[in-house]
Structure 1
Amino acid sequence: MNRSISARLNSGAVNLKKAPPALSRKSSICACLPHCDAWEAANAQECTSKKAGWRRMTADALLSPATVSGFVFGLGLIFSLGPQNLMLVQAGLTRSHPFAVASTGYVSEIALVTMGIGGFGTLLTHNPAISGILQAACAGFLALWGARILLAVNGTSRVEVAAGCKSRFQAIGSMLAVTWLNPLVWLEAMFLVGVLSFSYGSEEQAGFAAGFLAASAIKFYGWSLAGLSLSRRFDRPIHRKRMDIVAGLVLILAALVLAANILKGA
């Protein structure tokens, strides 16, 4: 019996010698830690390089010649004479939902620019007759709108009427009318942007449109803020009537200049 017990103890000792040490798993984890640290370092370096690449691409896109050209062209149209800019100023002067009016015009501008770079601008370029009709419609629209303002001066001021009865929906509807029914806006935002953007490559057309729309945002919200800042100075009816007279005459003068250019080119 003693021999059997000693034999069992000896076999257990052999098994204990063959068993792996208790620290073998810990040592293997410790051995893998340098590899994990190296992988994390490589991954972090890759993420940093990707972020730097995106920043470089964004900076290049914002400062590309197409984007800068579109922005400069849009800045040149900020002071263009038309019913749209007058509507923006009027909404600010009368505090008739100026930001809703500006946002409506800006969203419409985005849609027209998208149509222009989508091919409508080149369509008008290849059809000179349509372009001439559009320019003539611009002149007629400017003259009609200017005459409408001057006729309203004899009675109650157009600005007074707008301040007294325009709701949010009426103000937005008026802005939609002077945008989508105004050939001058179609000529500027769709025809000219479409034609000028096609002078660049297909990848840079979006940059030209983005630069133009950035300047358009300054135009829409800038004119509304300008009207708001001047609203206290034009609170008297006589001042508003004088502003209406100047606006009507300016629009009619712009229509005459446009008509003269059409006749000269004919």
Structure 2
Amino acid sequence: MPYLAGFATALSLIVAIGAQNAFVLRQGLRREHVLPVVLTCALSDALLISSGILGLGALLTRSQLALDIAKWGGAAFLYTYAFLAARRAFNPSAITPTSNAPAALRTVVLACLGFTYLNPHVYLDTVVLLGSLANQRGTMGRWLYGLGAVTASFTWFFSLGFFSRKLTPTFARPRSWQYLDTAIALLMTTLATWMLLP
């Protein structure tokens, strides 16, 4: 069934550890603007998957300029966030959710949009891969496949954002936040460097 195939394929792509998931996890643990963050991620995936079904993937793969902009812009964004995470890790007094003021909603949403749209791999996964797989299933089947993929995205991001708070007791200690931010800094640096490799 196209719907289940789309759900399974999209979930396998989304669950992979990445910059966006690390950001959603951190916001969930902080219990800070979680609903806007997960909605931004899931609705963005819905937009990108739909665009792929409508043929945007074919256009993107033919535009070297678009790929280069996404590559260099995405790497710069990830390096910046890695630096901020490393700075938090070396400053324990500003790590726990209760020890510093929550970030403004606008700042959080803009960061979330950056993790989504400045990552060239999101276009390869959603627009190109899922879009092309959906278009192999005929007129009606492609939209059922896309609906399954979008459902997987909503399921994953809402689960990650809202169920991560179950880990809150573990992150009541500053040391746990240091470990998390150190891991995030290393992950972002690795992803940014990998993005720039030929």
CA contact (8 A) 2:134 2:145 kept: yes
Residue of structure 2 equivalent to 1:119 = 55
CA contact (8 A) 1:108 1:179 kept: yes
Residue of structure 2 equivalent to 1:51 = none
2:19 maps to 1:90: no
2:122 maps to 1:151: no
Aligned pair partner of 1:129 in 49, 58, 64: 64
| Gap regions ≥5 residues in structure 1 | 1-63
Q: Larger C-alpha radius of gyration, 1 or 2?
A: 1
CA contact (8 A) 1:75 1:216 kept: yes
Q: Distance in 2 between matches of 1:161 and 1:130?
A: 44
The alpha-carbon distance between structure 1 residues 95 and 171, as it changes in their structure 2 partners (threshold 3 A), is: same
2:176 maps to 1:239: yes
Q: What secondary structure is seen at the aligned counterpart in 1 of 2:139?
A: coil
State the AA in 2 paired with 1:75: L
The alpha-carbon distance between structure 1 residues 166 and 128, as it changes in their structure 2 partners (threshold 3 A), is: closer
Q: Distance in 1 between matches of 2:170 and 2:78?
A: 27
TM-score, length of structure 1 as denominator length = 0.63
The alpha-carbon distance between structure 1 residues 158 and 209, as it changes in their structure 2 partners (threshold 3 A), is: farther
| Gap regions ≥5 residues in structure 2 | none
Q: Distance in 2 between matches of 1:174 and 1:199?
A: 34
Q: Distance in 2 between matches of 1:203 and 1:177?
A: 33
Higher RCO (Cα < 8 Å, 6 or more apart): 2
Q: Kindly state the Cα deviation for residue 128 of structure 1 after the two structures are TM-superposed.
A: 6.0
The alpha-carbon distance between structure 1 residues 172 and 141, as it changes in their structure 2 partners (threshold 3 A), is: closer
The alpha-carbon distance between structure 1 residues 216 and 134, as it changes in their structure 2 partners (threshold 3 A), is: farther
Residue of structure 2 equivalent to 1:177 = 114
Deviations 1:42-65 (A, max 9, x none): xxxxxxxxxxxxxxxxxxxxxx2x
Q: Distance in 2 between matches of 1:248 and 1:96?
A: 20
TM-score, length of structure 2 as denominator length = 0.81
Q: Aligned residues: percent identity?
A: 24
CA contact (8 A) 2:89 2:177 kept: no
2:139 maps to 1:202: yes
Residue of structure 2 equivalent to 1:223 = 160
Q: Distance in 2 between matches of 1:161 and 1:209?
A: 40
Superposed CA RMSD in Å reads 2.8
Q: Distance in 2 between matches of 1:104 and 1:81?
A: 18
CA contact (8 A) 1:112 1:190 kept: yes
Q: Distance in 2 between matches of 1:198 and 1:162?
A: 49
Aligned pair partner of 1:104 in 40, 60, 80: 40
Q: Kindly state the Cα deviation for residue 240 of structure 1 after the two structures are TM-superposed.
A: 0.4
Q: Kindly state the Cα deviation for residue 141 of structure 1 after the two structures are TM-superposed.
A: 4.1
CA contact (8 A) 1:102 1:220 kept: yes
Q: Distance in 1 between matches of 2:153 and 2:95?
A: 26
Q: Distance in 2 between matches of 1:257 and 1:177?
A: 18
Q: How many residues were matched structurally?
A: 196
Q: Distance in 2 between matches of 1:101 and 1:248?
A: 20
Higher mean displacement: 66-75 or 187-196: 187-196
State the AA in 2 paired with 1:214: T
CA contact (8 A) 1:135 1:187 kept: no
Higher mean displacement: 205-214 or 67-76: 67-76
State the AA in 2 paired with 1:196: L
The alpha-carbon distance between structure 1 residues 152 and 102, as it changes in their structure 2 partners (threshold 3 A), is: same
